[in-house]
Each structure stands twice: as structure tokens, then as C-alpha cells.
A and B are shown apart, each in its own frame.
Chain A
Amino acid sequence: MRRTKSLVKIALVMMSDPHGQYWGYDLTRQAGVLSGSLYPILRRMLEDGWLTDGWEDPATVSDRPPRRYYELTDKGRAALGATLAAARRERRFCELNWGFAG
């Protein structure tokens, strides 16, 4: 997958808790990426086997439909780790907030 700024931002958020569950809207807010970029990236990550998806248990939500969540696979953790490692060396990504990932 092409190493874009959006992908690196998403990788930063997801790799801060690699075993967590992520929702589309939360990801857009945390990563600071517009949903027009996020959802195509999520689709590609799903197709490449970097992510698995699932739906919230309907029994746990009452007043709204269940949301779809995403989780990183082992392949995805390795791939996003490699993406971050490569991005850290590139100049164009230096203004990103690397936090603990850096």
C-alpha cells in the first residue's frame, strides 16, 4: 500500500493500541483524517488482510444500530509497524505527532 500521510496518521493511532477495536468515526477524529481518505484506506487494509472487522453485539446497544469495528491482524500489525518505521525516516512525515510511536 502506498505510504501516504493519511495512512501514516491512521497507523499512528492504531499502533498506539495494536490490540484495540476501532470505529470509523473515532478513527477520523483521533487520526485527523477526513472520512473520504479513511474509508478507502480501511477497505484496502481489509482486502490486504491487515484488518478484520466485526459488528457490535446488538444486545449491548439499545437505541441505535450496531456499529462496525476494526481490529488489526498480526499481518496488519507487522505491516503498519514497518510503515511507521519507514515513515519515521522520511522528511515529509516529520511534522506528524509521533508521540510514543516515535
Chain B
Amino acid sequence: MKEVLGLLVHVPTLSTVLFGMGTLALIGFAPMFTLRLILLVYPPDDDRRRELLAELYTLKRTEQMWWVGQQAATMLFDGVPARLRHMRRRRTERELAPSGVSRLVRSLVKALQVIEKWRAIEKSTTTRSP
């Protein structure tokens, strides 16, 4: 009994137990909310988001908790790779076509700014000289 009480007073153990119980309660009482949190890992345009939410509606209340728990694993093996692919795709898209154009536009704007500066300097020198 003393050891059990000792474990309960032990802060890391207590916080782990409370965290576990909190997670279970969250999945049990708010499965839809938990699933929506899990689905945030998927890229915004991924059909899996809609699919898993729709699947949850077809389940009985007793099955929902188990199903949502499973989706945490699905998120790891399906959602995280999908998110990484999405990030990589966006990065390459940014690096390729649009960035080339934007770099060109930026350098053109810089060149125009320099020309304007020269003109302003020229104007000021011509107005001063007479």
C-alpha cells in the first residue's frame, strides 16, 4: 500500500496516469473532436479527411472510441507520409516555376529602382549646374 501511495505521489507517474486518463476521456466523450484533431495532420486537399469523418458517422457509439484510437495509427502510417509528400511538392513548386518568375520580376523592379535613382541624381545635377 505504501508503495502504491508512493507511486501516486510521484509526480511523473501521476502526470502520466492523468494524461492517459485524459486522452481516454477525450476519445470516449468527444470522438468527433479527437478525429478532427487527428485529421489535421492530413494535407487540406486530401480526400482521407472527408472519408474518415464520414466513416465515423456510420459507426455505433461503442465502436467509435476504438475506431478513433485506430486512426492515431492510421495518421502515423498514412497521414504523416501524405503531409510530407504535400510539403515536398509545395516546396518544389515554389522552387521551380513561380520562384523563377518572381526572381525575374524582383530583379526587374530593382533595375527600375536603380534607373529611377540615376534619373533623380541626373535631374538634381542638371538643375544645380546653371
Contact = CB atoms under 8 A, between A and B. Distances in A.
Contacts of B50: 65, 68
B26 interface: no
Contacts, number: 53
B59 interface: yes
A7 to B, nearest CB: 14
Contacts of A65: 50, 53-54, 57
Given A25-B55, A40-B77, A40-B78, A35 B47 contact: no
Contact of B54 (A35, A38, A43, A67): A67
A20 B78 CA distance: 24
Determine the main DSSP class of B at the interface with A.
helix
A17 B57 CA distance: 25
B22 interface: no
Given A24-B51, A67-B51, A36 B74 contact: yes
Given A25-B67, A40-B81, A34 B54 contact: no
Nearest to B57: A64
Interface residues of B, number: 21
25 contacts: A23-B55, A25-B58, A25-B67, A34-B73, A35-B70, A36-B74, A36-B76, A36-B77, A36-B78, A37-B77, A38-B74, A39-B77, A40-B77, A40-B78, A40-B81, A43-B48, A43-B78, A53-B47, A64-B58, A65-B57, A67-B51, A67-B54, A68-B50, A68-B51, A68-B54
Given A53-B47, A64-B54, 17 more contacts: A23-B55, A24-B51, A24-B55, A25-B59, A34-B70, A35-B71, A36-B73, A36-B78, A39-B77, A39-B78, A40-B81, A43-B78, A64-B58, A65-B50, A65-B53, A66-B54, A67-B51
Interface of B: 47-48, 50-55, 57-59, 67, 70-71, 73-74, 76-78, 81-82
